[in-house]
Amino acid sequence: LYQKVEAGEAIADGFSIDKGQLALGKNILVAFMPWRGYNFEDAILLSSRLVEDDVYTSIHIDKYECEARDTKLGPEEITRDIPHLGENLLRNLDDSGVIVVSTSVLADDILVGKVTPKGETEPTPEEKLLRAIFGEKSLDVRNTSLKVPHGGKGKVINVRSFSRESGDELSPGVNKLVRVLTAQRRKIQEGDKMAGRHGNKGVVSKIIAKEDMPFLADGTPIDIVLNPMGVPSRMNLGQILETHLGWAANKLGFRACTPVFDSASEVEIQEALSAAGFPKNGKVTLYDGKTGEPFDNEITVGYIYMMKLNHLVEDKIHARSVGSYALVTQQPLGGKAQFGGQRFGEMEVWALEAYGAAYTLQEILTIKSDDVDGRNRTYEAIVKGEMIEEPGIPESFNVLVKELQGLCLDITLSSKREGDDENDELLF
């Protein structure tokens, strides 16, 4: 109270703000040393303390929107009355067809129920039966509800509805808009990406129990272990100087501000370390957390500013068994959003060729990709428990033939006939 403030002065801190300064990371105790190969090639070794104390725990909010538009066949409708859906799929929707706040949702859960008019065509026998049971409504609309996408999850924290009737400004053709916000809490885990302020980025390779981490002479365990081989070739020595100065600043309780071309000198850093009671070179003897024995050489220790980046393994991890295929190439789609497959490119083919893995390579290029008949026969054989047949011709070969025919090259294919040379599989 009664504190004087001036224009432009911060009067309150928000998220990721500390004393009016942007603060996206944390100051943690670091040691530059190899540790049993787990921090090889920019990999990062973390202490379990950072997970347990939620030092790098973050909250992620996803926004989903559902629009009800005017179509040529009539307006779309946001409703709970969706044909052909069981009550268990609609259990979390309110009477208007919108998800209830504080509901936990997983992938493919319905957030907003929506039906869209569809054109009248000759109904199938199944549709005739459904029409007889549920009435006309079951036939003239289709389910276009907003669902949680593949790989998504969280807890609904906010739902807002906008409509023309309420006087809200909406895009042309949109009658109603529902916006749903979901949030999830994520602890840092193996596979997440981290970075400092000197381009020193890396991926967390292993989270070690804090009692197994290297520790100082007073028993303080290290929080993060970085590989010293990531420094000399990149020439970003700032991270080492930051480590030294951060160690002294943490002990003496001051804040070090070092602009780019006016940073602390070597002498100033040494004086700060001496004032804090640390060796001038910033190196101390560490002890192995598993054996208790001291390491052979002194190790650079200090405090470094590290951030968790928005490249999280939970968003990237993906696997596919069967799924949709591209129309032209008949190969699996790409990307996690399309539930696609992993690209096996030219250089990956070379790698398998170098290993001599002929059968693995053959099935990757045929029945696991664009051999349409072969993959159908393979799936059938797996279901029946039979031997898998030989792969056929991939669709990419047929695409090549069609492209050559588009260049006015008269290419025709015929299969092997009796009396032909055994080495001739295809005749041109």
List of residues 6+ apart from 38 with CB closer than 8 A:
45, 205, 206, 208
Q: Taking the CA of residue 191 as centre, how many other CA atoms within 13 Å lie in the half-sphere pointing to its CB? A: 8
DSSP three-state, residue 171: coil
Tens digit of each residue's pLDDT (9 = 90 or more) over 252-262: 999 998 888 89
Beta carbons within 10 angstroms of residue 34's beta carbon:
14
* pLDDT score recorded for residue 354: 98
Share of the chain above pLDDT 70, in %: 94
List of residues 6+ apart from 418 with CB closer than 8 A:
none
Tens digit of each residue's pLDDT (9 = 90 or more) over 282-313: 999 999 999 999 999 999 999 999 999 999 99
Segment 203-220 mean pLDDT: 96
> Does the pLDDT at position 15 exceed 90?
no
* pLDDT score recorded for residue 427: 46
* pLDDT score recorded for residue 420: 59
- The segment with the largest mean pLDDT, out of 190-194, 318-322, 335-339, is 190-194
Partners of 185 in the beta sheet?
59
Alpha-carbon torsion angle 7, 259, 240, 217, nearest 10: -50
Spell out the domain ranges in the chain.
24-57+189-308, 60-186, 318-406
> Does the pLDDT at position 269 exceed 60?
yes
* pLDDT score recorded for residue 84: 81
Q: Taking the CA of residue 285 as centre, how many other CA atoms within 13 Å lie in the half-sphere pointing to its CB? A: 8
CA distance 329 to 399: 7
Tens digit of each residue's pLDDT (9 = 90 or more) over 66-97: 999 988 888 889 999 888 888 888 999 999 99
* pLDDT score recorded for residue 14: 85
CATH number of 24-57+189-308: 2.40.270.10
* CATH number among 1.10.1760, 3.90.1800, 3.40.1010, 1.20.1740, domain 318-406: 3.90.1800
Beta carbons within 10 angstroms of residue 168's beta carbon:
13
Largest pairwise CA distance in the chain: 105
- Name the H helices within 214-322: 238-252, 266-275, 313-316
> What is the residue-averaged pLDDT of the chain?
90
> Does the pLDDT at position 50 exceed 80?
yes
What backbone torsions phi and psi does residue 105 show, to the nearest 5 degrees?
-125, 155
pTM assigned to the model: 0.80
List of residues 6+ apart from 134 with CB closer than 8 A:
83
List of residues 6+ apart from 22 with CB closer than 8 A:
16
CA distance 266 to 269: 5
Segment 269-279 mean pLDDT: 95
Residue 37 CA, chain-centre distance (Å), reads 26
Token pair belonging to 131: 């029409």
* pLDDT score recorded for residue 123: 67
Segment 243-272 mean pLDDT: 93
Q: Which CATH class is domain 60-186?
A: mainly beta
Among 83, 80, 137, residue whose Cα is nearest residue 112: 80
Type and span of the H or E element at 161? strand 154-163
Token pair belonging to 197: 């302020």
Confidence of residue 122 (pLDDT cuts 50, 70, 90): low
Tens digit of each residue's pLDDT (9 = 90 or more) over 374-428: 999 999 999 999 999 999 999 999 999 999 999 999 888 776 655 556 555 554 4
* pLDDT score recorded for residue 418: 58
Share of the chain above pLDDT 90, in %: 67
b/e code 320-333 from CB counts within 10 Å (16+ = b): eeeeebeeeebbbe
b/e code 177-194 from CB counts within 10 Å (16+ = b): bbebbbebebebeeebbb
CA distance 64 to 110: 11
Confidence of residue 106 (pLDDT cuts 50, 70, 90): very high
